[in-house]
Amino acid sequence: MEIEEKIKAVRNRDKSYRYKFFVFYDTLKDALQTGYRPCKICMKEEYHDYKNNNMETIKITRYQSPVGDMIVGSYGDKLCICDWAVEKRRYTIDRRIQRHLNAKYEEGTSEIIQRAIEELDAYFAGYRKIFDIPVVFTGSEFQCTVWGELMKIPYGTTISYGELARRIRNPKAVRAVASANATNPISIFVPCHRVIGSNHKLTGYGGGLDAKKGLLELERSKTVGNELW
């Protein structure tokens, strides 16, 4: 059955198609109570209202780190954002996170946020090198692969973008890897700051190069006999 035929049947409320691919209800309320949602093609306004009224919540709060202000946020029982409060960065990443999770930001705190802040405080104090906060990724399959690999880079070490591409078994995707690295929304916990240029230059960073340098210097100071770059 072609999509055009389905749309026509829905718009004409042709009940001969009942149970073939949809069910008719007398009212929208009846359908919603049963667990259905409005069709986003033929009931655009209703779908828009439904989506807005049924969005979940992402709790967010500000965190002042020694190297820059950050936004820390949780979705359910997972950390979904720990990113730099840089205005030019916010729109694209915030929009992607909220769309991916079908959730909207709400200022406040949560158990996960409190745990994350405690671990960040310990990290910046120099006595936490490994995090155990559960995270949820909000990106494409490729981005999530890159971010997952970032979490395997040990504290106090750095690798190049080329090496990161090789580790995900896609050695030609250096630029794509760099792009995924740049759009990582869970900084520090997903340590994109540990990736540098093949020429050992720091290159770009969402929180700015001063923040990246500060993080690497912190880790170097707590790692005996290790040159980071």
The three state secondary structure string of 112-130 is HHHHHHHHHHHHHHCCCCC
39 annotated active-site: no
Of the candidates 42, 80, 82, 192, the residue annotated as catalytic is 192
The 8 Å CB, 24+ separation contacts for 205-212 are 206/83, 206/84, 206/86, 206/89, 206/182, 207/67, 207/68, 207/70, 207/84, 207/86, 208/68, 208/84, 208/86, 210/67, 210/68, 211/67, 211/68, 211/84
Which among 106, 126, 124, 96 has a CA at the least distance from the CA of 61? 106
Query: Measured between alpha carbons, how far is 33 from 48 in angstroms, rounded to an integer?
Result: 17
Residue 117 burial (10 A CB sphere; 0-12, 13-18, 19+)? middle
Element (H, E) at 106: strand 103-107
Q: Which residues are tagged catalytic?
A: 192
